[in-house]
Amino acid sequence: MKALHAIALILVILGGLDWLSVGLFEYDVVSEIFGGSTEVGSKIVYIVFGAAALWALSFFPKVTRDN
């Protein structure tokens, strides 16, 4: 389970960096790699990033828990 959390965190960070490049430079790294945002490869990557973000929602109880 620890590995899955680490993978999800890495994917969320990569997705966030992609959005940072879109916001600052209007350059979408994922769509550039796969030839456009409507290509199947780009959609798969976006879905994986989104699934990782949904999984990362499960981190909140652990982060907000009082020790």
Per-residue pLDDT reduced to its tens digit, 26-40: 999 999 999 998 999
* CB-CB contact of 8 with 18 (8 Å): no
The per-residue pLDDT for 21 is 96
* CB-CB contact of 46 with 39 (8 Å): no
Question: What mean pLDDT, rounded, does the chain reach?
Answer: 91
pLDDT band at 67 (very low <50, low <70, confident <90, very high): low
Domain count, the chain: 1
């389970």: which residue's tokens? Answer: 1
The per-residue pLDDT for 54 is 95
Residue 44's domain comprises 2-64
